[in-house]
Chain A
Amino acid sequence: MRHTILLSLYLAAFWLANSGHYSALMLSLGVISIALVVFIAHRMDVIDHEAQPLHLTLKLPAYFAWLIKEIFVSNLLVVKHIWLGNKSISPVFMTITASQKTELGKVIYANSISLTPGTVTVNIEGDKFLVHALLTQSIKDLESGDMDRRVTQLEN
């Protein structure tokens, strides 16, 4: 029930931000569409299982700040190597081990790897991630486990 109310609130905020018209007719149409979406979500049975992970919300901003810094640095690295040309890159496939226990933690870790340019998660089997990297150096950075440790901290 708590998740249902939260979903309705999110949808209402989204609708208000996108509309910009606040006449009675428009607002009632908005209420009807929100009710319809919540009803469909109930029928699909996705609500109450896959909702906003409440216990993570407080720790997320610090992690996001760190991730944005990381994205910035790796972007500049990849752009540098684009201009330096094909001889300067060393593409490599490598398997790395993730230490997260829950699926959510693994998903956050894999998405963070894919989001930083220069490394892409290609396949996941259990806790082994197959990662393709543009540079051997960036896979070394991943293996040193800084990102892994931060995601595991986030999870607990």
Chain B
Amino acid sequence: MDAFIHISSSLFLLIGSFLCLSGGIGILRFPDFYTRMHAVGVTETLATAMILIGLILYNPDFLVDVKLVIILLMTLFISPTAGHALANAAMLNDKMQKDDNKQNSEVKSSTS
């Protein structure tokens, strides 16, 4: 039974590390901001959950397990909020830049 728990904890940690690395490659590889955000989403949901579940299986102390669960819940509640705020700010900035460019080109066409 002990060996089984040990192996499954190692398995969870391995999957978590692999998902994390995939997210890291995604953030370097994807072409623009919004697609990179999806890559970060992978590392913040399933990868974090897998690594923390691996740690929960690894150690038997109850209080430490409770703390790990608190960290997991906090990450899951925080990541969509931060992601939404970031995407919203980026979208507003894009819109503003587009308007700016339009104004500039209008000014240019009226002066030329």
The reply to whether chain A is a binding partner of chain B is: yes
A71:B63 contact, CB within 8 angstroms: no
Q: Which of B35, B42, B70 contacts A89 (CB 8 A)?
A: B35
Interface residue total, chain A, C-beta cutoff 8 A: 30
29 pairs from A and B in contact (CB 8 Å cutoff): A14-B70, A17-B63, A17-B67, A17-B70, A18-B67, A20-B63, A71-B45, A75-B42, A75-B46, A78-B26, A78-B41, A78-B42, A79-B19, A82-B26, A82-B29, A86-B29, A86-B30, A86-B31, A114-B79, A116-B45, A117-B38, A120-B34, A120-B84, A120-B87, A121-B87, A122-B84, A123-B91, A132-B34, A132-B87
- Whole-angstrom distance between the Cβ of A74 and the nearest chain B Cβ: 9
Does A151 count as interface, using CB distance less than 8 angstroms? no
Q: Which residue of B lies closest to A138 (CB)?
A: B38
Complex CA distance for A18 and B70, rounded to whole angstroms: 10
Q: Which residues of A come within 8 Å of B, CB atoms?
A: 14, 17-18, 20, 71-72, 75, 78-79, 82-83, 85-86, 89, 91, 110-111, 114-123, 130, 132, 134
